[in-house]
Amino acid sequence: EPEVTQTPSHQVTQMGQEVILRCVPISNHLYFYWYRQILGQKVEFLVSFYNNEISEKSEIFDDQFSVERPDGSNFTLKIRSTKLEDSAMYFCASSTTGYNEQFFGPGTRLTVL
Amino acid sequence: QKEVEQDPGPLSVPEGAIVSLNCTYSNSAFQYFMWYRQYSRKGPELLMYTYSSGNKEDGRFTAQVDKSSKYISLFIRDSQPSDSATYLCAMQKTSYDKVIFGPGTSLSVIP
């Protein structure tokens, strides 16, 4: 069964460093999303991406965040200068047209020290 | 009022019991309703996806949506220890929209 994959599974970084989280969505999907979940809290929307541009972003998704689809298979989230409060699980999701369930990847756990 | 609310639990039931999980929401614009299951430090796994009011059944799982009351439910029949997880209700205004999640209900099924 096709699935969303994410790498790395765990990323540890120093405050102020740049990180890139990578996702490979399901191959025929056209809509891509990033969400995050701070430990013990609910899953929160960050950004949606369709047709090579951002469709919607939340207030969390400030100038420190960017997304890119560099080729036909990868979808990345970049955090330019990480803060302690960026520590969270980051989930990528994708969906196709029609009956539009979003399927989530296993997540990348980001720890900012 | 929070946009989506769930009783956080924890809910503990014996194996074989019928489990009822519930969620309320405040925004009448929501039209698509989902239940996800999340194991500890894993990604949400889609269990049920429904549009508007009504019931949907899939195996041991039944989802109910009552838009007039802004209330959705998930029933699990013949619960198993492997059902032990956090259950997230979620909803969207349109089928391409961001998903808004509830805080989740933690379920333990005791053998």
CA-to-CA dists, residue A8 to A23, A41, A107, A111, B14, angstroms: 9, 22, 9, 12, 37
Both tokens of A94, joined, read: 């994708």
Give A38 to chain B, closest Cα distance, Å: 11
Report CB contact under 8 Å: B95, A89: no
Predicted local confidence at residue B70, as pLDDT: 95
Stretch B6-35: mean pLDDT: 94
In which band, very low, low, confident or very high, does the pLDDT at A106 lie, cut at 50, 70 and 90?
very high
Kindly give the pairing relationship between strand B85-92 and strand B19-25: unpaired
**Mean pLDDT of the residues in chain B:** 93
Please give the distance of CA A37 from its chain centroid, rounded to a whole number: 11
Confirm or reject contact between B100 and chain A (CB < 8 A).
yes
Confirm or reject contact between A102 and chain B (CB < 8 A).
yes
**List of chain B residues whose C-beta atoms are within 8 Å of the C-beta of residue A93:** 99
Q: Dump the DSSP string for A50-107.
A: ETTEEEEE-TT--TTEEEE--SSS-EEEEESS--GGG-EEEEEEEE-SSS---EE---
Q: Which of B42, B95, B99 sits opposite A45 (nearest CB)?
A: B99
- Best mutation target, B32, B34, B41, to test chain A (most A CBs within 10 A): B41
- Best mutation target, A4, A9, A36, A42, to test chain B (most B CBs within 10 A): A42
How many residue pairs bridge chain A and chain B with CB atoms within 8 Å of each other? 56
Both tokens of A19, joined, read: 């990180």
Q: What are phi and psi of A12, to 5 degrees?
A: -110, 130
Confirm or reject contact between B42 and chain A (CB < 8 A).
yes
C-alpha span between B41 and B100 (Å, rounded): 19
pLDDT digits (tens, 9 = 90+) for B31-84: 999 999 999 888 999 999 998 888 999 999 999 999 999 999 999 999 999 999
Residue A104 pLDDT greater than 80, yes or no: yes
In which band, very low, low, confident or very high, does the pLDDT at B109 lie, cut at 50, 70 and 90?
very high
Predicted local confidence at residue A38, as pLDDT: 95
C-alpha span between B96 and B98 (Å, rounded): 7
Confirm or reject contact between B49 and chain A (CB < 8 A).
yes
Report CB contact under 8 Å: B102, A42: yes
Residue A98 pLDDT greater than 90, yes or no: no
Length of chain B: 111
Chain B, nearest residue to A41 by Cα: B103
